[in-house]
């Protein structure tokens, strides 16, 4: 921490912001892992030489940001990408008749190592000789193939993931467990497109069928873009839900 009464300086940051960043760094570097409990507010305050109120403000901000979660009477924990939470936060496709909040099954079609084209290299800011992992899979909702996914991951961050025979349905939980990469923020771009030949085959739709295409760039806790994913959905009985607050 800085001195208790910081002088005005060009790089001034509020104490609680500094505490916030320090805790985030500790999580990024793996000192505190997903699911683990943090020291109590008073312990952290003593540790960092600030008041309990300042620690509280930092912890609350991180809780707001889904980095931590708190349980009264128990403690403060590092957030974990459980399936339910991911469904709520990063999976926005819903059945039109909301009656089936069913967990979508994902079938792996193919995994391969590819040489990225110019635009994909730019997304990840990769050097010219770096490889990218491509995962091709299809999600079924209500027992019908509904969403075709093409997922791109820089090989440097996910070494040897391309050699796995099976992958879990919740990739984000998998990234977190095996590569210490927590997907924190993402940007989705939606368009309407026509089904191409592969779509027709995989999703079992006719030519001329409109699909909802979602392009996602996902960023880790440290801000790096670590995943690019294209989802093409048969939106006959589905929609993509957005809540604006």
Partner DNA sequence: CAGTGGTCTAGACCACGCT
Partner DNA sequence: GCGTGGTCTAGACCACTGT
Q: How many CA atoms lie within 13 A of 90 on its CB side?
A: 24
Q: Please report how the helices 52-64 and 15-28 are oriented relative to each other, as an axis angle in degrees rounded to 10.
A: 60
Closest to a second copy by CB, 1 or 194? 194
Of 72 and 128, which CB lies nearer to DNA in the complex structure? 72
If one asks whether residue 190 binds a second copy (CB under 8 A), the answer comes out as yes
Eight-class DSSP state of 35: T
Minimum distance of a second copy from residue 92's CB (angstroms): 8
Please report whether residue 222 would count as binding a second copy according to CB under 8 A: no
Go through the chain and tell me how many residues it has.
245
Helix (H) or strand (E) holding 59: helix 52-64
Site string for DNA, 67-106 (x = CB under 7 A): ---xxxxxxx------------------------------
Sole binder of a second copy in the list 70, 89, 136, 155 (CB under 8 A): 89
Smallest gap from residue 175 Cβ to a second copy (A): 15
SS3 (DSSP) at 132 = strand
Do 213 and 220 touch, CB atoms closer than 8 A? no
- Taking every pair of Cα atoms in the chain, the longest distance, rounded to a whole number of angstroms, is 68
Question: Taking contact as CB under 7 A, which single stretch among the options 9-17, 115-123, 211-219, 224-232 is the one that binds DNA?
Answer: 9-17
Q: Which residues bind DNA (CB under 7 A)?
A: 4-8, 12, 14-17, 38, 40-43, 50-54, 56-57, 60, 70-76
């Amino acid at each position: 921490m800085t001195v208790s009464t910081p002088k005005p300086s060009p790089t001034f940051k509020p104490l609680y912001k500094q505490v916030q960043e320090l805790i985030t760094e500790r999580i990024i570097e793996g000192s505190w892992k997903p699911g683990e409990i943090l020291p109590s507010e008073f312990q952290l305050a003593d540790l960092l030489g600030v008041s309990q109120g300042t620690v509280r403000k930092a912890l609350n901000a991180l809780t707001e940001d889904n980095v931590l979660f708190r349980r009264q009477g128990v403690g403060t924990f590092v957030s974990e990408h459980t399936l339910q939470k991911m469904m709520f936060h990063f999976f926005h496709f819903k059945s039109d008749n909301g009656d089936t909040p069913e967990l979508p099954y994902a079938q792996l079609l193919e995994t391969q190592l590819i040489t990225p084209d110019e635009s994909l290299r730019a997304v990840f800011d990769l050097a010219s000789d770096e490889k990218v992992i491509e995962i091709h899979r299809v999600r079924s909702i209500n027992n019908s193939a509904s969403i075709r996914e093409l997922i791109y991951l820089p090989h440097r961050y996910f070494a040897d993931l391309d050699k796995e025979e099976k992958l879990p349905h919740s990739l984000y939980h998998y990234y977190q467990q095996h590569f210490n990469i927590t997907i924190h923020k993402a940007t989705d771009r939606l368009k309407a497109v026509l089904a191409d030949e592969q779509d027709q085959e995989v999703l079992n739709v006719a030519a001329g069928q409109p699909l909802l295409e979602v392009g996602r760039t996902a960023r880790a806790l440290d801000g790096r873009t670590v995943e690019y994913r294209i989802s093409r959905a048969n939106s006959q009985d589905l929609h993509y839900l957005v809540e604006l607050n």
